[in-house]
Structure 1
Amino acid sequence: MGREHNSSKCNLTLVLYEKQHLELEQRPVPCKPRPNEVTLATHTVGICGSDVKYWQQGKIGNFVVTKPMILGHETSAVVIDVGENVKHLKPGDKVAAEVGVPCSTCDLCRKGKYNLCEQMQFAATPPYDGTLTRYFNHPADFCFKLPEGVSLEEGALLEPLAVAVHACKRAQIKLGDTVLVSGAGAVGLLCMMTARAFGANLIVVTDVNEQRLKFAKELGADRTVVVQRNEFPQQLAARLKSEHFGGRGVDVILECSGAETSMVLAINVARTGGTIVCVGCQPDLVTIPLQIALMQEIDIKGLFRYRNCYPIALSMVESGRINLRPLITHRFKLEDATKAFELCSRGEGVKILIKCMDESQLQNDLGFNGIH
């Protein structure tokens, strides 16, 4: 995440050495930023399920931790230095960092699908370092200035919100649509809230956890349904149609659980011509009733991160259409990051934040006066 040199300044960093082996250590502070970069002082980083999975398993799919890697990618920060070509940011600006940097020259990038760039450098995805470090350099074009009224904590959550925005864009949710959200974890809740902001009329959320569903209701779900672990997906689909969707199928299903049974449910509950977006990470191989989807022209769409979604996400937060604050359930200092990961691995809380830097540390370490 940027060139480095030796420095006596404190750059505390959380490093994953191998599966289940986390260490806090000092890393060199980055050099002066390149012409189109900024140097950031990391303020807040949210823990994502992928961070926990790398910690617990050492890999996600084909991405394998083979050398020490800094974790974290849901990031807000304060600009402390700017490259000579950077005009839209200045020291003291609060920003949300979009931490996937594409090549910008391949066919996919030129077509605007930069999230699919095969040369993408995405934070905390092997072999690239993440942002649970106090200082790093980053391209200025991927830093979004936070307006007054949007906090640095909310700025860190723009990253998972961007996933939800991309999901709803892929689903082409429109005014009056009915939506089923499978899974009431953090991303599922964000998808629910974003679907509402996109104009969805009736939103039903399913999960096996009653407490999560209670929270989903508090955040605006029209209805919630507890999934019984011994209930076949086909039976649940029939129950959902009968009890919640007027005997008809659902316009859009946002599958956020990553469970194979939820994909079977999605196909059985979708209306003819409906849309399923696979937000959650599915197993490598799944068994689904594909013929039903084919004969009913149900669109099944994949989702990989996001593209061009930060401005929309930021606008929804600034305007009040999305309130991220209730999702924040725990806060830890960087020095206590391991405790934060342990809490997250137990399935406790919704969004767990790690604070890497506060304003007093900025002033003490850098002689920096004020955050704009």
Structure 2
Amino acid sequence: MARSSLSLWKRPTTVPRSFVYYVRIWLPSEKRYSTPKSAAVLAENLGLDMSQLPPSTKTGARKIGEIWLLKGGLKTLKNNPDNPLLADFCLDFWTWDKSEYVEGKIDREQRISKRWCKDSHNRIETHIKPLVTGIRLQEVTAKFLDRIQLKLKKTTKLSTKTINSIMNAVLTPIREAHRFGVIETDPTQNFRSLPLNTKKKGILTTKEFCALLASSWQNEQIRLAVLLARYTGLRMGEVLALAPNDFDIDYEGKPVIWVRKSWSITEGIKSTKTGNTRVVPISDELKNDLLKLHQKNPHDGSFIFWGANENTPFTHRMLGSGFCHQLEKIGIDEATRKARNISFHSLRHMFNSTLRGKIPDPTLRLATGHDDPDMSDHYDHLTDERLSDIRNAQEKYISIKKVE
């Protein structure tokens, strides 16, 4: 039996024996009816005379639905609040203070950062908006998304990774619009991201790192930040967020660091990348040097790597550029550094590579904080023999002593 192309649905109002009619149309490709649209809203969008076609009556609502079908159905909803311009919809979606998506994430205690939203907003404003002028949310198709992606690839010098990030800033809002029934179909379902040819992060050799330690350092903060990242595998944001109260001792009475926060340019103090807390062993010598550095903090602030005022630490930019400056002193100039893909984050990769195979992978993941659902229950205590495994490997395989 063939489905009727049109279906009415009514909802009672607060007025006795009064109803609001909604119209649904059959979607053959999806074998289902569309999300109900208010007959009154349809009449307004179609410019119909509601005195002649009252949307509050079954007959009027049906006639409005039939006219809607004849004029193109879903494609006619140009001024409907559910069919905004694509660029405007995406920009609102990524605006931190007004986004229902962000609010939902926060209410569910799921991770989302202001920096991510700001970056996504900028990607839409800079790269997407010029390409989607006049295009509305309900007009987007998989083919259209494909064309945007290929346009970015052919006409810009952006990396594949950057283009995929730009497209994700569009895909996520569209998926959410479909999830809430704002659009009937999900054009992102069969979308394919560009294949990544990710360049592996380069690391220093042991000889190069020893030469780095032996070079002259004009900034003690940069030197100790480099040593800390090399010895513990901390991310740059985790290094910058370090404070004296993050130090503790393990069950053997040896020093450890509780890695429970990170520093973000836009958000300030926030959780770690995975949202988990981990504990990492540190040598007595390095801990003492870090606490001595903190005593020089001119702001009486909590940051070990202090910045321009007591509320901010040393900046990402200064730490990254300072590290690169030291590399130049041992013969690794900008061209070589870029060719080998070496950055401050390479110290974390160096830590991981050095200890890989020396201790079990699950133990190494505990130290690096790589997200693994099987490991989530292991961050709640210090009395764990895995700490000894990590510490022994650090002392045996990672040297952070300056070679005289």
TM-score, normalised to structure 2's length? 0.27
Give the number of the structure whose alpha-carbon radius of gyration is greater. Answer: 2
TM-score (norm 1): 0.28
Which has the larger strand fraction? Answer: 1
